[in-house]
Amino acid sequence: MAYNEETARRIQHLLELFPEDFTEKKMFGGIAFLYLGKMTVGVVKDELMVRVIGEKMEHVLSQNFVRPMDFTGKPMKEFVFVSSNGFATEEQMHQWIELGLEHAKSKL
């Protein structure tokens, strides 16, 4: 298993609460959820992957359980990883999805 399937199911369930339509795509060795072709959130191994608008990166990175997303040793622009403690509740997960959706909408 390249990504935590239970976390992916939790995201799928919560996305049903949003009026927007999302698609799924295998990315970064995991699964990503896209809005109009723009990545919002995803799962890589046991971590949540979230796109964040640049103006909010400093604040988001100051939160517990959040770190820059880096595959090559260099942080990727406007991407963060959130460890499982940071999305333990449905409310927390919903907030991360909203943040990722905000980023996607800003790129349209």
Identify the pLDDT of residue 28.
87
pLDDT digits (tens, 9 = 90+) for 29-46: 999 999 999 999 999 999
Percentage of the chain with pLDDT > 70?
Answer: 99
User: What is the pLDDT, as a whole number, of residue 56?
Assistant: 98
The pLDDT mean for the chain works out to 96
Residue 11's domain is classified under what CATH number? 3.30.1460.30
Cα separation, 79 vs 51, in Å, equals: 5
Tokens linked to 63 = 């939160």
Task: Report the distance separating Cα 62 and Cα 6, nearest Å.
Answer: 27
Query: What are 103's two structure tokens?
Result: 């980023």
Structural domains counted in the chain: 1
pLDDT of 71 strictly over 80: no
Residue 55 pLDDT > 60: yes
pLDDT at 1: 55
How many angstroms separate the first and last alpha carbons of the chain?
33
Domain that holds residue 13: 5-106
